[in-house]
Amino acid sequence: MSDYTIIGKRMPRVDSRAKVMGKAKYAADLKLPGMLVGKIKRSPYAHARILSIDTSKAEALPGVKSVVTGKDTEGVKWGVFPYTRDQQFIQTEKARYIGDEVAGVAAIDEETALRALDLIKVEYEELPAVFDPMEALATKTELIHEDYPNNVNIHVNIDTGNVDENFEKAHYIREDTFVASEESYFHAEPYAVVARFDPEECLEVWCPNGGPHMKSKPLSNSFKIPLHKVKIKKIAIGGAFGGRSEICPADYICALLAKKTGKPVKITFTREENTIATRQGHAMITTHKTGVDPDGRVIARETTCYMDGGAYSSTGPIATSVPFLSMEQAYRMGSVRYNGYRVYTNKPIRGMIRTHGRGFACGVDTQLDMIAEHLGIDPVEMRLRNSRQPGDYTSTKSHVGSCAMDETIHKAVEKSGFMEKWGKLPPFHGIGIGTNSVQTGFPMGIRGGSQAFIKFNEDGEATVMSGVVDNGQGNENMLVQIAAEELGLLPEDIHLVNADTETTSSDPGSYSQVSTFVGGHAVKIAAENCRKKLFEVASKALKADPKELVAKNRQIFVKDDPERSIPIKKVVRISLLSFNSVNAEGGYWPKVDMKREWVKNPYGQMCEAFSFGTTIVEVKVNPDTGQVEVLEATAAQDVGYALNPLVLEGQFEGSIAMGGQGGMLTEYHEWDDGRCINPTMLDYKLPLCCDMPKINNIIVESIDPKGPYGAKEAGMSIAMSAAQGYSAAVSNAIGVHLDSFPLTPDKILAAIRAKKAQG
Partner 1 sequence: MERIEITLNINGKPHEVKIYPNETLLDVLREKLDMTGAKESCGEGVCGSCTVQMDGKPVRSCLTLAMEARGAEIKTVEGLASEDELSTLQQSFIDHGAVQCGFCTPGMLMSADALLAENPKPDEKTIRKALAGNICRCTGYAKIVEAVAHGVHPQENCCDCKPKE
Taking the complex as a whole, the smallest distance from the CB of residue 673 to partner 1 amounts, in Å, to 24
d(CA 133, CA 308): 5
Q: Which of 425, 680, 740, 750 contacts partner 1 by CB under 8 A?
A: 680
> Over the range 322-356, which residues count as b (16 or more CB within 10 Å of their CB) and which as e?
bbbbbbbbbbbbbbbbbbbbbbbbbbbbbbbbbbb
Q: Which of 239, 441, 467, 708 contacts partner 1 by CB under 8 A?
A: 239
d(CA 92, CA 51): 9
Q: Which residues are CB-neighbours of 199 under 8 A, at least 6 positions away?
A: none
Q: Would you count residue 134 as binding partner 1 (CB under 8 A)? A: no
Name which of 626 and 693 has its Cβ closer to partner 1.
Answer: 693
Q: Which of 212, 238, 401, 519 contacts partner 1 by CB under 8 A?
A: 238
Q: Would you count residue 497 as binding partner 1 (CB under 8 A)? A: no
φ, ψ (nearest 5 deg) of residue 158:
-125, 130
d(CA 589, CA 599): 23
Q: Would you count residue 2 as binding partner 1 (CB under 8 A)? A: no
Count of beta carbons in the 10 Å neighbourhood of residue 591: 11
Only segment of 62-70, 116-124, 575-583, 686-694 that touches partner 1 (CB under 8 A): 686-694
Q: Would you count residue 271 as binding partner 1 (CB under 8 A)? A: yes
State the DSSP string of 299-336. EEEEEEEEEEEESS-TTHHHHHHHHHHHHHHHB--S-E
Taking the complex as a whole, the smallest distance from the CB of residue 239 to partner 1 amounts, in Å, to 5
Taking the complex as a whole, the smallest distance from the CB of residue 294 to partner 1 amounts, in Å, to 41
Kindly state the number of chain residues that form the binding site for partner 1, as judged by CB under 8 A. 57
Bridge partners, 617 (sequence order): 432, 633
Name which of 189 and 369 has its Cβ closer to partner 1.
Answer: 189
Taking the complex as a whole, the smallest distance from the CB of residue 681 to partner 1 amounts, in Å, to 4
Total number of residues shown for the chain:
759
Strands 675-676 and 121-126, how do they pair?
Answer: unpaired
Pick left, alpha or beta for residue 556 (phi over 0 → left; psi -120 to 50 → alpha; otherwise beta): beta
Number of helices (H), then strands (E), in the chain: 20, 31
Q: Would you count residue 270 as binding partner 1 (CB under 8 A)? A: yes
Pick left, alpha or beta for residue 468 (phi over 0 → left; psi -120 to 50 → alpha; otherwise beta): beta
Name which of 598 and 652 has its Cβ closer to partner 1.
Answer: 652
Taking the complex as a whole, the smallest distance from the CB of residue 509 to partner 1 amounts, in Å, to 16
d(CA 66, CA 443): 41
Q: Would you count residue 472 as binding partner 1 (CB under 8 A)? A: yes
d(CA 6, CA 13): 12
Strands 462-466 and 192-197, how do they pair?
Answer: unpaired
- Which 8-state DSSP code applies to residue 150? G
Which of these, 595, 585, 635, 588, lies nearest to 609 by C-alpha position? Answer: 588
Q: Would you count residue 13 as binding partner 1 (CB under 8 A)? A: yes
Q: Would you count residue 34 as binding partner 1 (CB under 8 A)? A: no
Q: Which residues are CB-neighbours of 10 under 8 A, at least 6 positions away?
A: 644, 645, 646
Q: Which of 1, 31, 161, 169 contacts partner 1 by CB under 8 A?
A: 31
Q: Which of 166, 313, 386, 471 contacts partner 1 by CB under 8 A?
A: 471
Name which of 191 and 338 has its Cβ closer to partner 1.
Answer: 191
Taking the complex as a whole, the smallest distance from the CB of residue 327 to partner 1 amounts, in Å, to 24
- Interface map 513-552 toward partner 1 (x if CB under 8 A): ----------------------------------------
d(CA 358, CA 742): 9
Count of beta carbons in the 10 Å neighbourhood of residue 445: 12
Name which of 298 and 484 has its Cβ closer to partner 1.
Answer: 484
Taking the complex as a whole, the smallest distance from the CB of residue 237 to partner 1 amounts, in Å, to 6
Name which of 110 and 123 has its Cβ closer to partner 1.
Answer: 110
d(CA 345, CA 310): 5
Only segment of 23-31, 340-348, 385-393, 525-533 that touches partner 1 (CB under 8 A): 23-31
Q: Which of 474, 508, 586, 710 contacts partner 1 by CB under 8 A?
A: 474
Q: Which residues are CB-neighbours of 437 under 8 A, at least 6 positions away?
A: 326, 327, 329, 330, 388, 405, 610, 611, 612, 613, 717
Q: Which of 40, 68, 237, 352 contacts partner 1 by CB under 8 A?
A: 237
Q: Would you count residue 597 as binding partner 1 (CB under 8 A)? A: no
DSSP element (H, E) containing 43: none
Q: Would you count residue 553 as binding partner 1 (CB under 8 A)? A: no
Taking the complex as a whole, the smallest distance from the CB of residue 626 to partner 1 amounts, in Å, to 21
Which of these, 281, 255, 338, 261, lies nearest to 65 by C-alpha position? Answer: 261
Q: What is the 3-state secondary structure (H, E, C) of 508-547?
A: CCCHHHCHHHHHHHHHHHHHHHHHHHHHHHHHHHHCCCHH
Q: Would you count residue 127 as binding partner 1 (CB under 8 A)? A: no
Q: Which of 51, 138, 688, 754 contacts partner 1 by CB under 8 A?
A: 688
d(CA 413, CA 370): 19
Only segment of 48-56, 194-202, 451-459, 468-476 that touches partner 1 (CB under 8 A): 468-476
Name which of 126 and 683 has its Cβ closer to partner 1.
Answer: 683
Q: Which of 2, 3, 22, 199 contacts partner 1 by CB under 8 A?
A: 22
Taking the complex as a whole, the smallest distance from the CB of residue 609 to partner 1 amounts, in Å, to 23
Q: Would you count residue 689 as binding partner 1 (CB under 8 A)? A: yes
d(CA 477, CA 523): 12
Residues 465 and 503: beta-carbon distance below 8 Å: yes
Only segment of 423-431, 491-499, 612-620, 679-687 that touches partner 1 (CB under 8 A): 679-687
Q: Which of 23, 540, 591, 595 contacts partner 1 by CB under 8 A?
A: 23
Taking the complex as a whole, the smallest distance from the CB of residue 654 to partner 1 amounts, in Å, to 5
Name which of 292 and 494 has its Cβ closer to partner 1.
Answer: 494
Q: Which of residues 144-203 bind partner 1 (CB under 8 A)?
A: 185-190
Name which of 10 and 121 has its Cβ closer to partner 1.
Answer: 10
742 upstream amide cis, omega within 30 of 0: yes
- Interface map 695-724 toward partner 1 (x if CB under 8 A): x-----------------------------
Taking the complex as a whole, the smallest distance from the CB of residue 718 to partner 1 amounts, in Å, to 10
One-letter identity of residue 171: H
Taking the complex as a whole, the smallest distance from the CB of residue 507 to partner 1 amounts, in Å, to 19
Taking the complex as a whole, the smallest distance from the CB of residue 60 to partner 1 amounts, in Å, to 23
Q: Which of residues 600-619 bind partner 1 (CB under 8 A)?
A: none
d(CA 299, CA 320): 23
Taking the complex as a whole, the smallest distance from the CB of residue 483 to partner 1 amounts, in Å, to 20
φ, ψ (nearest 5 deg) of residue 52:
-160, 155
Count of beta carbons in the 10 Å neighbourhood of residue 161: 10
Q: Which of 146, 682, 746, 759 contacts partner 1 by CB under 8 A?
A: 682
Q: Which of residues 621-660 bind partner 1 (CB under 8 A)?
A: 646-647, 649-650, 652-658
- Which 8-state DSSP code applies to residue 188? S
Name which of 186 and 511 has its Cβ closer to partner 1.
Answer: 186
Which of these, 91, 36, 85, 90, lies nearest to 65 by C-alpha position? Answer: 36
Q: Which of 62, 224, 560, 690 contacts partner 1 by CB under 8 A?
A: 690
Residues forming contacts to partner 1 in the complex (CB under 8 A) are 10, 12-13, 15-26, 28-29, 31, 185-190, 236-239, 241, 270-271, 471-474, 646-647, 649-650, 652-658, 661, 680-682, 686-690, 692, 695
